Every structure is written in C-alpha cells, then in structure tokens.
Amino acid sequence: MPLSEEEQRILRQIEQQLEQDPTFSQRGYRVSRRRSLLLTFGLILGLVITIGGLAVNFVVAFAGFVLVLVMAIMLESELRLLGRERLGQLPISAWLSGRRPDVDDDVNH
C-alpha cells in the first residue's frame, strides 16, 4: 500500500531532522572486535574440551558442551549487534524505503 502525500511529507521531515541531529550517528551499538575474537576462541576451546573430554570423563565433556553453548549464545548476540550497527550505517532514506544499496552504488560514489 503506497504512502499518502501527507505520510511521505512526514517521513521526509523526520529524515531531515535526524540528519541534522549531530548525536544521531554517534548513538547505537559498538561491537568490540576483541570480544568477538575471544568468544570465537572460547567456542573452539569448548569444542576441543568436549571432544577430548569424551575420552577422559563424561563430566569433562559435559562441561565443554556447556562452554560451547554459552559461547555460541554470546557470539550470536555479538553478531546480531554487528548487524544492527551495519544497518545503522545505511543512509536513513535506504532503510526507510526498504531497499539495500547496490554494490555498484558504493563503488561509483
């Protein structure tokens, strides 16, 4: 369903106000590369403990599995924040219109 002229005018007005807000681009999510790397390392370490623990003791393997589960959940959360941060870098008009910028657009501009 297309937007009415009034709705389009309101959206343009909101976009202009957000572009003029100096703190708008500074807000959002910050993803630490170091934290993501540590979580990835923890995930791999948990897998090694799980596999190695199967030869040693069930409790060790289970502890490794729990570590893998925790690291995977935390890493997924970090990656979700990264996706939000990347989405926040798009121009306001791109996410208001629902279109993704073409790769050619980024190269040509």
Whether the Cβ atoms of residue 28 and residue 88 lie closer than 8 Å to each other: yes
41-46 — which CB contacts under 8 Å span 24+ positions?
42/67, 42/71, 43/68, 43/71, 43/72, 43/75, 46/70, 46/71
What pLDDT score was predicted for residue 46?
A: 93
- pLDDT band at 20; cut points 50, 70, 90: confident
Please check whether residue 29 is in contact with residue 86, taking contact to mean a CB–CB distance below 8 angstroms. no
Q: In angstroms, rounded to a whole number, what is the distance separating the alpha carbons of residues 29 and 80?
A: 10
Average pLDDT over residues 14-29: 66
CA distance 95 to 25: 15
pLDDT above 70 coverage of the chain, percent? 64
Predicted pLDDT at 55:
92
pLDDT of residue 65: 94
Instruction: Provide the residue count of the chain.
Output: 109
Q: What is the pLDDT of residues 54-93, one digit of tens each?
A: 998 999 999 999 999 999 999 888 888 777 666 666 666 6
Rounded Cα gap, residues 41 and 47, in angstroms = 10
